[in-house]
Amino acid sequence: MLFNSFLFLFAFLPLTLAAFYATRKWTSARVAVGLLVFASLVFYGYWKPIYLFLLLGSISVNYAFGRVLAVQSPSRKFLVAGVSLNLLLLGYFKYSGFLAGETNVLLGLSLPVPVVALPLAISFFTFQQIAYLVDCYRHAAQEKSFLNYCLFVSFFPQLIAGPIVHHKQIMPQISRMVSDSHLKPRFAAGLTLLSFGLFKKVIIADNFALYSTRFYDDAVSDVLHTGDAWVGALSYHFQIYFDFSGYSDMAIGLAMLFGIILPVNFNSPYQALSIVDFWRRWHMTLSRFLRDYLYITLGGNRRGTVRRYINLLVTMLLGGLWHGAAWTFVVWGGLHGLYLVINHAWSALLERLGCAAVMRNPLYKLVCLLLTTVAVMVAWVYFRAPDFSVANDTILAMTGGGEAGFSDGYRSFLSRAGFADSASLVTGYPLSPVWFMPLVFSVALLFTFTVPNSMEVLGLIAHNGVIRWRPSLIWALLCAAMLCCSIIGMFGSTEFIYFQF
């Protein structure tokens, strides 16, 4: 079930909210928790009911391991067994076909290649439960209530694509189900974030998706033009930004409707002045998971500079593979690993040279912003492209190796699709992509470089999860307008990008 669907917004969500508040008022918090678990299972099972057995089996096994690991002096073998079972489950469903196919290619074999449907959200609930097991082993987490643990894993606002939450972040809130004094401001803030996120997804991201999808579909067979390549690459650069920003807003907003605050997962990553800063802002909970449970486990920066750089590369390569069973994702992760190595080496060099004043210079910061933007955009080409050939041809065309200008077919498409179509309806004239697309991208760049994000508007970042924002008539009218526009646009909306991972 998609957040940006009529079924979810006008049936599932209202019924769940009404039932939750009714049971909470007339029964007990425990009944309300049970209701949310049931609703979350319905939400997950709507896609393919058969995979409910997979989710419930994973929850049950990890709960049992967690109880064993929470004892005073647990054996490390139980942790290894629990983590291994999770990785084997993820490996079978996500990578078995990929590994069999690559083995056939490398060794000239004819092994059967299994065709396994990827269960929704398996990457996210697997990582979340691995973190839980490690925290139990470290005596940083313990959960005795199976019902609460079910909600911790399956809570529908964050089940499909995160944020990846820790036990200590969510369980105290579930246990007390927050007092009535907190519910009203959180509910209003939740509705605001829901409207923000839906607008970003339906009106902005899905329009950029029209351009990027058409480009990458055509790029498989066509000779690439420089204009086509730049529009395709930039469109995906902004599509994934607003798509994931919109999802993050909606996930946190939906949780707030039930009185629960999830960790911030998106903090204006395109305002980052370095790749290190980018990964502190993009999918923040995944970044922290990779740092705390992989990079530090490999040794982090405790074993010298060379080993540190190797650990960074390994972490990002595995992070890329986590996104999907394809070498293009591995290259995307490898590029970011290389970026991080260069970033750390450059920072260390400037520190040794005593160039702290240079790093504070506004011109230097602008150059860093632009370099980071270009590096991220180039990596997104490999992330989005269907194969290496298309990715390499796209980069080549962007650097002058393709035919000049736009292809006739893509130029015609750009003049009548997405933002151009909406603008033409207002002006009454067809718009030339030669000047209109640069205008669109300039506005998008300015927005992502300068405008505060939704979490900053509500104060969730600066005040450590405490909402400083207050509703008003102006906010209500703005949110109503965004919702109206989004509802109209939902007829052609697509699923969130991170739902496929």
Last residue of a domain, one of 130, 147, 177: 177
Q: What was the pLDDT predicted at 462?
A: 55
- Domain check: are 170 and 229 in the same one? no
User: Do 164 and 208 reside in the same domain of the chain?
Assistant: no
**Model confidence over 372-415: pLDDT tens digits?**
999 999 999 999 999 999 999 999 999 988 888 898 889 889 88
Is the pLDDT score of 318 beyond 70?
Answer: yes
Backbone angles phi, psi at 225, to 5 degrees: -105, 150
In a domain, 70, yes or no: yes
Rounded distance, CA 302 to CA 97, Å? Answer: 37
d(CA 36, CA 255): 11
Q: Residue 389 carries which side chain, given as an amino acid letter?
A: S
pLDDT in tens, 18-68: 999 999 888 888 898 999 999 999 999 998 899 999 999 999 999 999 999
Domain membership of residue 83 (yes or no) is yes
Q: Other C-beta atoms within 10 Å of 249: how many?
A: 26
Residues tagged active-site: 323
In a domain, 341, yes or no: yes
Residue 253 lies in a domain: yes
**Is 336 domain-assigned?**
yes
- Phi/psi region, residue 400 (left: phi>0; alpha: psi -120 to 50; beta: rest), is left
Between 354 and 84, whose confidence is greater? Answer: 84
Confidence of residue 147 (pLDDT cuts 50, 70, 90): very high
Sign of dihedral through CA atoms 166, 167, 171, 172? negative
Q: Give the pLDDT confidence score for residue 464 in this predicted structure.
A: 58
Q: Distance from CA of residue 165 to its chain's centroid?
A: 13
Q: What is the pLDDT of residues 449-483, one digit of tens each?
A: 999 998 888 877 655 556 777 888 888 899 999 99
Range of the domain at 319: 269-360
How many other C-beta atoms are found inside a 10 Å radius of the C-beta of residue 487?
A: 15
**Residue 229 and residue 313 in one domain:** no
Residue 334 or 116, more confident? 334
374 falls within a domain: no
Q: Are residues 27 and 121 in the same domain?
A: yes
**C-alpha to C-alpha distance for 221 and 233, rounded to whole angstroms:** 17
Q: Which pLDDT score, from 0 to 100, does residue 463 have?
A: 52
225 - beta bridge partners? Answer: 403
Q: How many domains does the chain have?
A: 3
Whether residue 71 is found in the same domain as residue 103: yes
Q: Which two tokens stand for residue 487?
A: 């509802």
Closest to 143 measured CA to CA, from 59, 34, 46: 59
How many CB atoms sit inside 10 A of residue 331's CB? 19
**114 and 194 assigned to the same domain:** no
* Assigned domain for 134 exists: yes
* Residue 79 confidence class, pLDDT cut points 50, 70, 90: very high
Q: Are residues 30 and 140 in the same domain?
A: yes
Give percent of the chain above pLDDT 90. 60
Give the span between the Cα atoms of 384 and 212, in whole angstroms. Answer: 9
Q: Is 382 within the bounds of a domain? A: no
259 & 289 share domain:
no
Same structural domain for residues 342 and 291? Answer: yes
